[in-house]
Amino acid sequence: MGKILLAVGTTATIVQKSGSSPVTITTLKSIGGNTESMSMADVSGLADATLVKAPARLDPGTVQFTCYLDDVASASNQFQTIKGYQTSRTAVTIAVTLPGSIVDNFLSWTGYISETSTPELIAGDDALTYTFTLAQSSY
C-alpha cells in the first residue's frame, strides 16, 4: 500500500501508555500504509501426503511516519522526543483524526518506535524530513 496523502486539517497525536497527556505531532508529512500478516503453522501428521497448515499468529505490522524537521532547540524538538520514546522502549499510541471526520482518532496504532532515520539531506529547496517506524504491538 502506498503512502496516505494527508488532507489539510489532519491532526495526529502521540501518547505514552503510562497515561501522559497526548502530544500533537505538528510536523507530520505522510503516513505509510500498514499490512497485517498471519503466520501459518505446519500441523501435518506423518500420514498426510500434503502439507497441512493452520493459522498461527497475527503480525499487526509496522507503520512509517514521515515528518518535517522542526527548527527548535535540539533538546526539545519532536525528532528528539520520538527518539527518546525509542531509546527508552516506551509504549505509545499514535492517533490520526482526518478533517471532516465525525470520529476522533479515525486511525490509531499502538506499539513501540522501532526505527528512526536521521533527517534526509537533499539538494534543493525541499524541507528536511525524517522517518520513524512504529512496530505495532498489543503490549
Domains of the chain: 4-136 (4.10.410.40)
Instruction: Identify the helix (H) or strand (E) that includes residue 14.
Output: strand 11-16
d(CA 100, CA 11): 11
pTM metric for this prediction:
0.77
Phi and psi, residue 82, nearest 5°: -65, -40
* pLDDT tens-digit map of 30-76: 888 888 899 999 999 999 899 999 999 888 999 999 988 877 766 56
* pLDDT tens-digit map of 99-119: 776 666 678 899 999 999 988
Percent of the chain beyond pLDDT 90?
36
